[in-house]
Amino acid sequence: MVSNLLPKPFSKHLKKAGFHDCTHAYAVTLEGAKKLVKSQTPIVYRADDLLSVNVMKGELKGFVTEPKFFDQLDFHTAETSKIKS
């Protein structure tokens, strides 16, 4: 499992995904969705972990785009959150 932590070259604009966190956006085939539902029954993972675990175990093919299609501007913390108490 340790040998596939980092993304590896796949094509001009794709890298084969390794371990990742902070899932901003993703596309999934029907076959991939069925695999995710099966591994999430019962619910045991948060979304980021669900994808990473399945990719790391080789049960799901994951790819990273280069350049990025989507990005997250900032992580919501107490300082950046727009939620007012």
3-state helix, strand, coil in the chain (%, to 5): 25, 10, 65
pTM: 0.69
What are the pLDDT digits (tens) for 42-66?
999 988 789 889 988 999 998 888 8
What are the pLDDT digits (tens) for 6-52?
889 999 999 998 887 777 788 899 999 999 999 999 999 988 789 88
Q: Please tell me which residue, 9 or 85, carries the higher pLDDT value.
A: 9
- Which stretch of DSSP H or E encloses residue 29? none
